[in-house]
Structure 1
Amino acid sequence: MQRAWTATSFLLIVSAGNQNDPTQPTKSGIGIWVDADTDKSFYTKVSSRGDIWHLVMSDEFEVEGRQFAYGQDHIWTALDIPDGVNRAMELYSSKNVYTKNGKFYNRVDEGPVNVSFWNSWSETPGYENKTMHYTAGMVQSWNKFCIQGGFVEVSAMLPGAINKESINPHILGYKWAPPPVNKITINDKDRIPDIRFYPTWPGLWLMGNLGRALFAASTNRMWPWTYNECDERYRTNQRISACDPNPGYGLNPYQGRGAPEIDILEGGGTAISSSIQIAPGMPDEYRRTKPILALESTDRVDAQGRHGAGHIFCYYDKNCLTPGANMADVSTAAFAGRGHKSWYQGLRYAANNRCNPDPKFVQKWESVYLAQNSTIIDNQFDILKISSGRDLHADLGLIDGKGPLHWGINYEGRCFPISNGYIGGFLCDPDNKNPNCIDPRKDGVPLTRQMETFAYQMDAISSNWDITFEHYKMFFNYQIEWVTGKDGYIRWTLDDAPIFEIPAYSLTNPPQGGKVTNPKKIMVEEPSYIIFNIAMASAWGAMPPNWEAGPCRGNATIPASALDRNISNNICDSFPMYMIIDHIRIWQDTSEGSNMSVGCDPASHPTKEFIKAHILNFTDANNLDVEVAGRNTCNVDDDCTIAGPTPTGRCVDRRCQCVSLWAGPRCTKYTPNLNSDTTKSSFGPDIVYPAIILSALVIIVTGTTVYRRRRHKEELEAAHAFAVMKSMKAAAEAAENEDFTEDDGATSNNRRYYAPSAQPRTLG
């Protein structure tokens, strides 16, 4: 029931706000984004540098049966869209994510779904048919909840084939050795011996709010830029350039912007990738040597049992024969002609001590330290001379300056992060003829002229660290500690134990001395949202069991042994698989002078007006941007209202329910035009209004016409759907609208979508 408001009550509510604070606090004092089920013992956390940070967001997922399709949840939006990157094979469905028994479930189902989609990246853009063999979930906090810096913790259990029917050796307790057959005991803390039983590509990650994952029109020339210099080399490739004095859309002049990526966890299988994706990438003369294909075409067997074409996996297994193709500046002779160092310097690596020790991986700091600046002759990793991170320029200092352990040294032979062989891709528009493009436009083929031209290198700075079977049967806290600024860093930790760290100076002071300057990136500082997803793609090391085509291989009907060189498994009988999340919690330095913040539209990095002006680049009919009023968890009414005599919300069935013109997760945001083009970016009204504006507001709130939020939402959806359908008709001429859009006549097993991107997001 809508409450009648008086001018007196409205004035009292207005005066309760703080003009310099974008939010009005709750009456109970609970944080706007904090879950009422979070125990108060977690309200503070000590950072790795010894500072006390405060809880600014949490989700314990204790409320049963939450739904996450757009417009349903205060923080998360589940996509309904096919995955169009990394040679993906899954459809994302909001039905595959839900809460149950105090946990968040992301379910992966196996089974074909036929889709028809618009492909902007083919020679002749048009609709194509494709079978997606899996269905999974992706939830985003895009344009709802963003942070700049903080400590992010996600407690998760990874998806894999962990039932006995799969014939997973970890479940059965043994693996088969060559004849004579021997049983080998496997401990949960041993490294995983066979990647095939872990075919999913889970992700827990952050991305700048100016790009929405899977909406290519929003990410083209935006992902993954973190660059704030005016450089003519990159001016046309960076959509919002520091060269621009008047970018419009509420953006700041002369400020380079983008949508960089931070991966808390990516991958699975035998190892996890911890990474950032940034642009612009380093010029070729600062990168590793490219492999010579003739040397790499050896008759080797890859992780999936396939022979030949060894060069394809050269960067991944560190066994390239081409000097300099495995590690930057290794061997010394391969890079001597450059006269300067290569790749990013001073990266920090530390062991995952959950693994059982292995004597053959034990390393001594003294020998590595003495050899670090000496001549390296061997083309491969030498445990006596190079950090166990397989990085010649790794930081070998004391961890956190305390000791006794040093970064980069595997003292006990535990699982250890290794510098990832994938160091970034070259991104291009469909018409580009640059030979570095994955599929350059051929001469004589007509141009499609669908979008602005671009061709640029991006960099992936990452490490892959081995995990054990424990990660698939129990919850671990996967964490990042992110501090912006010239003295900042991004640190990955596992249950508070350091694994990998990128200090800001690695980005801001890259090697110089070549024929061209090496661009100085900035430490990631964009307001970034959270993403949870599971992909199934042949671009990841643990490929799905039908990575080529056809039905799932490995069950009673189609045994894998008939197709995979007599290696038996029943992996297809293991679906559905699940990534289960117990909680997410985020802490920030809230002290005076801190540059950390919560919000997707901060004054330092505004996003709202740009997104509103290009909304069709970020949304489609199935994935609208709808603000949700209330719905955060609560225990009492005071959790859902601001201080004052008139409540702005109530606690109903343990979730906040807003009244009248109030929104926000806890009904602390005044919204006279919720979801309209004139909605303000700030939370709540200013204290002081000009008399004419205040009079108008009083008339509004005391009038007989009550704002009807539901009707407005329906009108918005209808208008948006019409606009999208109109844009689909002009798809061939569209310049920037490359979003998936489901056709009105779609069915659950035969769907039509618009414009997936063939661009890679990242590789492991």
Structure 2
Amino acid sequence: MASRSASAYHRADNPPSMTSSQPSVQTDSGSSSSSQKYYTMSRQQGGYSQAPGYGNARTTPAAPLLTDDDDEEDYLYSDKGLDKHSGSCISTRGLLNAFTLILLTMGLLALFLGYPLVVVLSKVFDTIDINPQSAQRLTTLTQRGLIDSDTPESAMRRTSPVDGTAWHLVFSDEFEEEGRSFWPGDDPYWEAVDLWYWGTGDYEWYSPEAVNTTAGALVIAVEERETNNKNFRSGMVQSWNKVCFQGAYYEISARLPGSHTTPGLWPGMWTQGNLGRPGYGATNEGMWPYSYNACDTGALPNQTWVNGTGPPKALDAQGLFSRGYNYELSWLPGMRFTSCNCPGTEHPGPNRNVARSAPELDILEAKINVAGGHGETSQSLQMAPFDVDYYYGNSSADGDVRIWDANTKLNDYKGGAIQEAVSALSHVPDIAYEHTVGGRYVTFGVEYAPDWNENGDAYVTWYMDGQPTWTLYGQAIGPVPELDISQRLVPTEPMFLILNVAISESFQVPDWTLLEFPAHMYVDYVRVYQRDGQPDRVGCDPPNRPTYEYIENNKEFYYNRNITEFPKSKIPRNRLQGC
């Protein structure tokens, strides 16, 4: 497994400086203006290059405000031209006054009614340069609401096979409309990115041209086509800043690309907190993969004390891959928005007592178990701060986890200095792959209850083909006194969806002799449910975890893929570092 949220992480040797300069900018040729080295999970590649790709206006004179004609200038201030004996009660001045009042009234209505409407619409759709060809389709999609009219009545409700609780549908997309495209502004729910995913050293360039709807499915095509100096072209669609949820059951019906015996393709279905945007490195630095609300060592750079002398377990990590990180537990830069940031510094809200971040939940990250001759998926929670040597509580007897499926086991990979992976591996049915004769769509899902009380009373349950595979309970990621860290949280942030297919040796070495192109991931539907008897939590800018204003105030990081690092001059200090 590898880091999904591309970010320029390196070891943070000092607390955030308040005197840094401009953000690091990576051009589409892959170079960076920063002299500082950054960490990526790509290894030396073989077979393919890893170099990133990458009318006249006419005017007329204005009419003069003053003239040399005294009569004209004095017209409104004299009795000239008025018939005082006409008996009319309507004067020119009266008409002008009335007209002025009407204009003022219309202006006030526009200010107090029109402006809020524009703000609300912009928050909901966040569209850019809607072209005429897309406008009609966008209007039609918007009118349907969050639940697709093509969703069958039988799918409006679900009952959890784990505890029998009742859930109702809050969002669906059946992808039945032919020829939908996902360029910026084309769709109110999804947007396809146009970038190289440098954080995992991918071989492909993500392009909106690789994604459309065909024959009742969302199709992501992976082609051996040189694009911006990358050897392959693929697609990634996100519901970022459009459709988000806090606590839900996500169900995605899909057929996976390629064959169940040939390694090299990396299909993903995952969710992330809306304050981070995958592929936009600066947005994730100090945000991903934290899910935390304590003001202690867990929020600090490298997960060490301010003076860097401890805790001992943070300085001498013995995880499976710790040697590659100089035996240091964490290379993360510390949380950007802790629950104790200094007064007067920027914070997304709702107040400075609430830490904010961009956690990640993976519904599916599929690879090939070559020895077993079958597909295998990692279903995981990526999180920080980290446990001692990345070993979270994994005892079934103690109620930390539960394995439901005979073909599911806890992942031996527990993480490294960039992320802790709370993960299990499950067999993917052969029939789920596009090259399997007689194959079919298979559902993949995740159900989770956020840890609103920050006490471990929360859970995540992953699913495949309608049945649970494993459950993580909140107590498994509880406090660790040896590291001076507190309860990690099952995410409370508004989480959006990402669907993509990558090719990267950081995840699995491709078998170039057997891989066939083009390959396709087909998504039959996406459905999202929330539990009966609880408030619906749908939206990317909820009052208890707002995101809109912060994103609007920092657009350069959310819309410029080439800014790979968050500028140190903008990183707020916290109480532990000194205000």
- Same-fold call, TM > 0.5? yes
Match of 1:63 among 177, 184, 187: 177
Residues 603-632 of structure 1 deviation map (CA, whole Å, 9 limit, x = unaligned) = 111111111111111113xx8xxxxxxxxx
Alignment of 1:566-715 (within 5 A): 571-572=514-515, 574-589=516-531, 591=533, 594=534, 596-620=536-560
CA distance in 2, matches of 1:58, 1:733: 35
Specify the alignment match of 2:392 in structure 1: 343
Maintained 8 Å contact 1:278/1:460: yes
Corresponding letter in the other structure for 1:610: Y
Distance in 1 (alpha carbons) for counterparts of 2:201 and 2:241 = 27
- Secondary structure class of the residue paired with 2:432: helix
Name which of 465, 478, 484 aligns with 2:444.
478
TM-score normalised by L of structure 2:
0.62
2:380 corresponds to 1:275: yes
- Structure 2 residue aligned with 1:109: 223
Aligned to 1:520: 487
The answer on 1:134 being equivalent to 2:232 is: yes
CA contact (8 A) 1:148 1:526 kept: yes
> In the TM superposition, what whole-angstrom CA distance separates every residue of 1:349-403 from its partner, at most 9, and x where no partner exists?
xxxxxxxxxxxxxxxxxxxxxxx7xxxxxxxxxxxxxxxxxxxx7768xxxxxxx
505 and 100 in structure 1: CA distance in 2 versus 1, 3 angstrom threshold: same
Aligned to 1:226: 291
Partners of 1:617 and 1:736 within 8 A in 2: no
Residue 463 of structure 1 corresponds to: 424
What's the offset of the Cα at 1:735?
5.5
Taking structure 1 as reference, are residues 65 and 408 closer, same or farther at Cα in structure 2, changes over 3 Å only?
closer
SS in 1 for 2:264: coil
Deviations 1:542-586 (A, max 9, x none): x223xxxxxxx42xxxxxxxxxxxxxxxx24x2000000000011
Q: How do residues 131-530 of structure 1 correspond to structure 2 at under 5 angstroms?
A: 132-161=230-259, 194=261, 197-232=262-297, 234-235=299-300, 237-244=334-341, 246=343, 247-251=345-349, 252-269=351-368, 270-284=375-389, 287=390, 343-346=392-395, 407-408=402-403, 414=406, 416-427=407-418, 458-472=419-433, 473-485=439-451, 486-507=456-477, 509-510=478-479, 512=480, 514=482, 516-530=483-497
8 Å CA contact 2:284–2:358 kept in 1: the answer is: yes
Please report how far the alpha carbon of residue 74 of structure 1 lies from its aligned counterpart in structure 2 after TM superposition: 0.8
CA contact (8 A) 1:156 1:582 kept: yes
Give the whole-Å Cα distance in 2 for the aligned partners of 1:154 and 1:141. 14
Measure, in 1, the Cα distance between the counterparts of 2:342 and 2:569: 23
Contact map agreement 1:96 1:108 (CA 8 A) in 2: yes
Q: How do residues 556-571 of structure 1 correspond to structure 2 at under 5 angstroms?
A: 571=514
1:695-726 deviation per Cα after TM superposition (whole angstroms, max 9, x unaligned): xxxxxxxxxxxxxxxxxxxxxxxxxxxxx9xx
Task: Find the counterpart in structure 2 of residue 648 from structure 1.
Answer: none
DSSP 3-state at the match of 2:200: coil
Q: Which amino acid aligns with 1:106?
A: I
The 5 Å alignment of 1:708-747 reads none
Q: How far apart in 1 are the matches of 2:298 and 2:152? A: 51
The answer to whether the Cα contact below 8 Å between 1:96 and 1:106 also exists between their aligned partners in 2 is yes
Aligned: 1:532 with 2:499: yes
Q: Distance in 2 between matches of 1:206 and 1:38?
A: 22
For 1:477 and 1:421, locate their aligned partners in 2 and report how far apart those are by CA, in whole Å. 25
State the shift of 1:500 in Å: 1.1
SS of alignment partner, residue 500 of structure 1: strand
Q: Which whole-Å CA distance do the structure 2 matches of 1:44 and 1:62 have between them?
A: 20
Work out whether 1:46 is the aligned partner of 2:13. no
SS at match of 1:618: helix
Which residue identity does 1:256 align to in structure 2?
Answer: A
CA shift, 1:470, in A, is 1.2
Structure 1 residues 601 and 395: alpha-carbon distance in aligned structure 2, compared to 1, 3 A threshold: closer
Identify if the C-alpha distance between structure 1 residues 409 and 232 changes in structure 2 by more than 3 Å, giving closer, same or farther: closer
SS in 2 for 1:229: coil
What SS does the aligned partner of 1:57 have?
Answer: strand
- Distance of aligned partners of 1:409 and 1:534 in 2 relative to their CA distance in 1, 3 Å threshold: closer
Structure 2 Cα separation of the partners of residues 463 and 519 of structure 1: 23
Q: Percent identity?
A: 31
Please tell me whether Structure 1 or Structure 2 has the larger radius of gyration of its CA atoms: 2
CA contact (8 A) 1:245 1:254 kept: no
- Partners of 1:409 and 1:50 lie apart in 2 by 15
Q: Tell me the TM-score normalized by structure 1.
A: 0.48
Cα separation, partners in 2 of 1:248 and 1:258, compared to 1, 3 Å: same
Deviation at 1:421, TM superposition (A): 2.1
Aligned partners of 1:98, 1:268: CA distance in 2, in Å? 24
Distance in 1 between residues matched to 2:384 and 2:410, nearest whole Å? 19
CA distance 1:483–1:107, change in 2 (3 Å)? same
Whether the 8 Å contact between 2:288 and 2:359 is mirrored in structure 1 is: yes
Q: Which amino acid aligns with 2:393?
A: Y
Other structure's SS at 1:277 match:
strand
Query: Aligned partner of 1:143: which letter?
Result: N
Aligned partners of 2:450 and 2:490 also within 8 Å: yes
Gaps of 5+ in 2: 1-104, 125-142, 302-333, 369-374, 434-438, 571-579
SS of equivalent residue, structure 1 residue 85: helix
CA contact (8 A) 1:249 1:613 kept: no
When residues 108 and 134 of structure 1 are mapped into structure 2, their CA distance, relative to the original with a 3 A threshold, is same
Q: Could you tell me how far apart the structure 2 residues matched to 1:88 and 1:733 are?
A: 22
CA contact (8 A) 1:240 1:256 kept: yes
Partners of 2:528 and 2:208 lie apart in 1 by: 24
Aligned residues of 2:169 and 2:528 also touching (Cα < 8 A): yes
Q: How far, CA to CA, are the matches of 1:241 and 1:140 in structure 2?
A: 26
Aligned partners of 1:64 and 1:99 also within 8 Å: yes
Distance 1:208 1:409 in 2: 27
Contact 1:31 1:56 (8 Å CA) reproduced: no
State the 1:202 CA deviation: 0.3
For 1:84-103, list aligned pairs within 5 A: 84-103=198-217
- Cα 1:220–1:50 change in 2 (3 A) is same
